[in-house]
């Protein structure tokens, strides 16, 4: 289904070429002032076409709040519907794919499951679907903000280029704010607060773009100030619900929580976060114990595959099974990780607010 969350529920709608995309948010607390500018700020961060590195599609992506607020922008406790018109549609860019299941794309499986596909482009699998997620996350972040919960993410690797380990550890301990990351982004056109590796990443992506190819990367995210007690003991452990949310973002291939795969190489005596004054002195756990938040910084890393749409010719087959050569015209992003940053933050925000609202019981 197209709904995420149990008490803070976000239902997204829209395809790449429908009249609009957006979401209905249900369960947001009442009598809270919504900041429309802060919402638009998040949509602008998500928007492609801002830098020379990313796709040139100029989507203005103006959020229109249709329902749920009174005239003073106070929430009424009723569903908040937000939508963004699809303005810059170029169906002709997709005509060539009518008969071809693009490698790495959803064309093949959508056709098999639904016996129909959107005539042009990804339809529901388009990155524009993430607009609804960012709206839901932006509204959640406004509420979390006044609880002093802050969420920020950055690009931690592109291809083989990584932020140095010690720098990354420092960033996890003391994460930059979203605003600080945007300052960096304004400078290097990239959301990596470590200048040296950022410049290398940008250089690599430019090369990949010249090669008409694409490249993957990782995003690291930290949630600071999360209340103790979110998550449930069994199936709805904090990290399990978070993994669900994060692995639902298009192009994700992996999720690490706390020490992650590196942690498997450690011994228990080193990995255990011992308490001092009832506070853990290390944070290999990543902010939960037994699936429930413990008040420490929550951190996780997400793997994004290289974008499937590339300019290079690809030998593949059409729906009839005939060999063909596919060459994508039109725009494409050589790397989505920088742009994925606000989407990752948004899904994290949705999870935190949902589990927070669920945790209230007395």
Catalytic residues: 17, 105, 333
Q: Give the span between the Cα atoms of 142 and 133, in whole angstroms.
A: 14
- Is 355 exposed, middle or buried (CB count within 10 Å of its CB: 0-12, 13-18, 19+)? buried
Residue that has been written with the tokens 């249709």 in this structure: 66
* CB closer to a copy of itself, 37 vs 234: 234
* CB closer to a copy of itself, 182 vs 302: 302
> Burial letters for 274-297: b for 16+ Cβ neighbours within 10 Å, e otherwise?
eeeeeebeebebbbbbebbbbebb
Q: How far is the CB of 208 from a copy of itself (least distance, A)?
A: 7
Q: Give the span between the Cα atoms of 114 and 267, in whole angstroms.
A: 48
Q: Give the span between the Cα atoms of 41 and 62, in whole angstroms.
A: 10
Q: How far is the CB of 178 from a copy of itself (least distance, A)?
A: 23
Angle of helix 337-359 versus helix 178-188 axis, rounded to 10: 170
Q: How far is the CB of 123 from a copy of itself (least distance, A)?
A: 6
* CB closer to a copy of itself, 37 vs 277: 277
Q: How far is the CB of 34 from a copy of itself (least distance, A)?
A: 13
Q: Give the span between the Cα atoms of 224 and 227, in whole angstroms.
A: 9
Closest of 214, 184, 193 to residue 307, by C-alpha = 214
- DSSP string across 125-149: GSGGGHHHHHHHHHHHHHHHHHTT-
* CB closer to a copy of itself, 202 vs 358: 358
Beta bridge partners of 223: 151, 298
* CB closer to a copy of itself, 165 vs 362: 362
Q: Are 104 and 214 spatial neighbours (Cβ–Cβ below 8 Å)? A: no
* CB closer to a copy of itself, 20 vs 199: 20
Q: Give the span between the Cα atoms of 355 and 288, in whole angstroms.
A: 13
Q: Are 155 and 337 spatial neighbours (Cβ–Cβ below 8 Å)? A: yes
* CB closer to a copy of itself, 152 vs 356: 356
Q: How far is the CB of 186 from a copy of itself (least distance, A)?
A: 25
Q: Are 284 and 258 spatial neighbours (Cβ–Cβ below 8 Å)? A: yes
Q: How far is the CB of 158 from a copy of itself (least distance, A)?
A: 8
Q: How far is the CB of 179 from a copy of itself (least distance, A)?
A: 27
Q: Are 7 and 27 spatial neighbours (Cβ–Cβ below 8 Å)? A: yes
CB atoms within 10 A of CB 119: 13
């Amino acid at each position: 289904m197209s709904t995420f969350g149990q008490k803070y529920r976000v239902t997204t709608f829209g395809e790449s070429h429908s009249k609009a995309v957006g979401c209905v948010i249900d369960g947001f607390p009442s009598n809270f002032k919504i900041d429309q500018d802060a919402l638009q700020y998040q949509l602008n961060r998500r928007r492609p076409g801002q830098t020379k590195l990313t796709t040139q599609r100029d989507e203005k992506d103006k959020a229109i709040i249709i329902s749920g607020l009174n005239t003073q922008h106070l929430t009424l406790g009723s569903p908040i519907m937000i939508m963004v018109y699809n303005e810059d549609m170029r169906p002709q860019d997709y005509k060539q794919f009518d008969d071809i299941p693009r490698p790495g794309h959803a064309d093949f499986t959508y056709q098999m499951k639904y016996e129909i596909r959107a005539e042009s482009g990804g339809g529901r699998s388009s990155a524009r679907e993430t607009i609804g997620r960012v709206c839901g996350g932006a509204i959640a972040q406004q509420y979390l903000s006044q609880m002093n919960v802050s969420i920020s993410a950055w690009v931690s690797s592109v291809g083989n280029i990584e932020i140095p380990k010690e720098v990354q550890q420092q960033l996890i301990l003391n994460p930059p704010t979203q605003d600080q990351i945007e300052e960096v982004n304004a400078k290097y056109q990239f959301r990596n607060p470590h200048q040296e590796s950022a410049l290398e990443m940008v250089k690599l992506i430019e090369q990949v773009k010249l090669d008409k190819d694409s490249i993957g990367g990782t995003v690291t995210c930290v949630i600071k100030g999360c209340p103790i007690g979110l998550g449930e003991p069994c199936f709805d452990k904090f990290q399990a619900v978070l993994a669900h949310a994060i692995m639902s973002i298009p192009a994700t291939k992996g999720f690490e929580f706390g020490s992650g795969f590196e942690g498997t190489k450690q011994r228990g005596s080193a990995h255990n976060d011992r308490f001092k004054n009832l506070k853990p002195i290390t944070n290999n756990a990543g902010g939960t114990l037994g699936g429930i938040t413990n008040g420490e910084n929550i951190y996780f890393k997400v793997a994004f595959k290289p974008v499937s749409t590339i300019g290079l010719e690809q030998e593949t087959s059409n729906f009839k099974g005939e060999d063909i050569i596919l060459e994508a015209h039109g725009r494409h992003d050589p790397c989505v990780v920088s742009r994925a940053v606000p989407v990752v933050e948004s899904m994290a925000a949705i999870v935190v607010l949902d589990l927070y609202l669920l945790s209230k019981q007395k």
